[in-house]
Amino acid sequence: MVSPSLSPSDLTEGLGVAVAQFAPGTDKAANLATITRLAERAASRGASIVVFPEYSSFFSDPFGEGFLENAEPLDGAFVSALRSLAGRLQIHIVAGMIETTLKGERFSNAVVAVSPSGQLAASYRKLHLYDAFGSRESDFVEPGAIEAPETFTVGPFTVGLQTCYDIRFPEVSRRLVDAGADLVLVPAEWVRGVLKEHHWRTLVTARSLENTIYVAAADHTPPIGVGASLVVDPMGVTIASLAENEDVAVAWIDRGRLDEVRRVNPALALRRFGTREL
């Protein structure tokens, strides 16, 4: 990780990627105020991308109460606010949200990426719903359709999106890599529990190692989430991380580092199985 004493102008190459963690609640205006404060902090530290958690627009415990009433379309107030913020700060912002569906009986667990030009760069809807560890996300959420992954470009990196429980399914990340992604962003609400923080760190690291990619994963802070947001490099090294508190951590990722790792460990080139679109 680059010393805080260095500014972006001191670097000959590299891209600042920030993970921002907080605990979204039922006050949508307060959630946006927190996102704004943390995005400003990330930008001031040199980040070009800042990743916020799953359900950043609205979250309640117990899960499900009030979600449908607070869902929004992608051209609604929440995304509009993110677009304005990204334009003002001249960074990419990635965040989870609850999205309205055509049927209206359930909502989508969506992730949006907005660009410095204020445009929607990509969107994603969670494929694997959290029907595990005593939870039933599918009672409320419409699973995303299996489609060609949406990616976007920031500097020399192609960026892909996935969400929380998806990280337990290695084919999700591998499909993104097959679509050209070499940086994967993972908004999450990783619920606390026995060994859950160990699972979180292990799975994020595994997805980085097996694909020789950078992964940046942002979680909710306690009492519901584990916190522990992190950025991992293609050799499985954590290059930025947070504890349990609300904050921002910035890592500098390097195209040369990625290319060198893939030269030394050509796992993608040597594999004998690929992914296919369904």
d(CA 39, CA 50): 7
d(CA 176, CA 179): 5
The alpha-carbon radius of gyration of the chain (Å, integer) is 17
**Per-residue CA distances from 134 to 18, 195, 228, 264 (Å):** 31, 15, 22, 42
Q: Which residues contact 129 (CB under 8 A, 6 or more apart)?
A: 109, 137, 138, 141, 143, 165
Structure-block tokens of residue 252: 């500098």
Find out whether 17 and 253 touch, Cβ atoms under 8 Å: yes
Taking the mean position of all CA atoms in its chain, how far away is CA 187? Answer: 3
Looking at the annotation, which residues are catalytic? 54, 126, 164
SS3 of residue 65 by DSSP:
coil
Structure-block tokens of residue 124: 């994603």
Q: At what angle do helices 77-89 and 28-44 cross, to 10 degrees?
A: 20
- The strand pairing partners of 95, in sequence order, are 112
Find out whether 23 and 226 touch, Cβ atoms under 8 Å: no
33: amino acid identity, one letter: A
Structure-block tokens of residue 206: 């595994």
In the DSSP assignment, the letter for residue 72 is B
